[in-house]
Amino acid sequence: MKRILVVSYSQTGQLTRILDNLLAPLEAAGDVAVVREALQPQPAYPFPWTALAFTDVFPESVQQWPCRLAPPTFDPAADFDAVILAYTVWYLSPSLPVTAFLQSPEAARVMRGRPVITLIGCRNMWLLAQEKVKAAIVQNGGRPAGNIVRMDRAANLSGVVSIAYWMLTGRKERFLGIFPRPGVSEADIAATARFGRPLQAALASGDWSGLQPRLNRLGAAPVVPAYILFELRIAKIFQVWARFIRRKGGPGDPARNGRLRLFRAYLLTAVFLLAPVATVATAVLQRLKKEKLLKMVTHFAENRTGPLEG
Ligand SMILES: Cc1cc2nc3c(=O)[nH]c(=O)nc-3n(C[C@H](O)[C@H](O)[C@H](O)COP(=O)(O)O)c2cc1C
């Protein structure tokens, strides 16, 4: 009997459903014991979000200041053959509950010497969040052994409107009947089951070396080159904003509300006015940096650790 620990945080339950589909073939096989740990931030993050709460998590997400978590229920000293970490992306970083878990003594204990498979559910930008997560796994003594990404299929701009509508109203439906339905499609959620089989094979053989290529043949980690440039640029600006806001106080401190409002105004401007300009600039850069970009695509798609060269 193989044993896996599955740690996750999903606010609306979308990622939980994706995870359920990934685990279904393993659970059906009957020879894998699955121990599940759903992280519980204290207090829970509100859903739907208020505009203030949505931006109040920004500085700490970007700078990876952990939130408080309820004590985990799994035994970190138990023997596991692998760990699955299912997370969502907040501001190009792992969500705060996952950041908190990655920095916990339980994560260090349970990841040490073990393969860690990541499952990401996000809108469309996961590359730099995964860099942070891989670094934390390595720091904990674990081995990033495979990565599976499920995301929205909407175009970038209409997707922003859709997800904002979902996050701020709690309604996972088409805004005004015009915008695409937010979130990962039902078909993509269900089709996550196809990644269960390569996982099962790696678990059975104990050979994790070929897992990522096998997952990629099934479309596990598609990398859009333009998004590499997008994310690298946005991440730099995010760091500046995060420092600027945190100088006024920590999470929930009313002293920083003014700066959070400014950041919201920046986000709106960036998304609707600067993004089209950035798209053109990115297309030009993409031509100039073709070789560097290709190297980076390989780095992300193959779930490599170490510095991002390019
Ligand atoms: C505060 C916040 C910030 C987010 N930032 C990103 C992001 O940078 N990139 C991205 O692809 N998705 C982003 N998302 C979408 C989430 O990754 C995720 O798809 C969505 O919150 C649903 O996840 P759930 O399973 O926790 O409900 C963000 C969501 C929230 C709430």
The answer on 165 and 37 residing in a single domain is no
CA of 97 to the centre of ligand 1 (A): 13
**CB-based burial, 44-68: b 16+ in 10 Å, e otherwise:** ebeeebeeebbbbbbbbbbebbbbe
The answer on 160 and 93 residing in a single domain is no
Q: How far is CA 101 from the centre of its chain?
A: 14
In a domain, 38, yes or no: yes
The CA distance from 270 to 238, in Å, is 12
CA of 164 to the centre of ligand 1 (A): 10
Number of domains within the chain: 3
The answer on 112 and 187 residing in a single domain is yes
The answer on 88 and 215 residing in a single domain is yes
What residue numbers bound the domain in which 124 lies?
Answer: 2-153+183-221
The answer on 254 and 211 residing in a single domain is no
Q: How many CB atoms lie within 10 A of CB 128?
A: 22
In a domain, 303, yes or no: no
Which is the closest atom of ligand 1 to the Cα of 167? 31
The answer on 273 and 201 residing in a single domain is no
- Is the Cα dihedral 74, 113, 300, 243 positive or negative? positive
Closest Cα to atom 29 of ligand 1 = 90
pLDDT of res. 291: 86
Candidate from 93, 122, 166 with most ligand 1 atoms within 8 A of CB, to mutate: 122
In a domain, 302, yes or no: no
The answer on 290 and 158 residing in a single domain is no
CA of 93 to the centre of ligand 1 (A): 10
Domain-ending residue, one of 221, 239, 273: 221
CA of 149 to the centre of ligand 1 (A): 13
The answer on 175 and 70 residing in a single domain is no
pLDDT of res. 310: 59
The answer on 127 and 92 residing in a single domain is yes
CA of 158 to the centre of ligand 1 (A): 15
Pocket of ligand 1 (CB under 6 A): 10-12, 14-15, 54, 57, 88-92, 121-126, 167
pLDDT of res. 6: 98
The answer on 242 and 270 residing in a single domain is yes
CA of 1 to the centre of ligand 1 (A): 35
pLDDT in tens, the chain (310 residues): 999 999 999 999 999 999 999 999 999 988 999 999 999 999 999 999 999 999 999 999 999 999 999 999 999 999 999 999 999 999 999 999 999 999 999 999 999 999 999 999 999 999 999 999 999 999 999 999 999 999 999 887 888 889 899 999 999 999 998 888 999 999 999 999 999 999 999 999 999 999 999 999 999 999 988 889 889 999 999 999 999 999 999 999 999 999 999 999 999 888 877 777 777 777 777 777 788 888 999 999 999 999 987 5
The CA distance from 201 to 31, in Å, is 12
In a domain, 209, yes or no: yes
In a domain, 47, yes or no: yes
The answer on 121 and 33 residing in a single domain is yes
The answer on 169 and 23 residing in a single domain is no
Both structure tokens of 36: 């599940």
Residue 163 parent element (H or E) = helix 156-169
Residue 227 parent element (H or E) = helix 225-246
Q: Tell me the CA end-to-end span of the chain in Å, nearest whole number.
A: 43
Domain-ending residue, one of 195, 221, 247: 221
Environment class of residue 154 by beta-carbon count within 10 Å: exposed (0-12), middle (13-18) or buried (19+)?
A: buried
Closest Cα to atom 31 of ligand 1 = 90
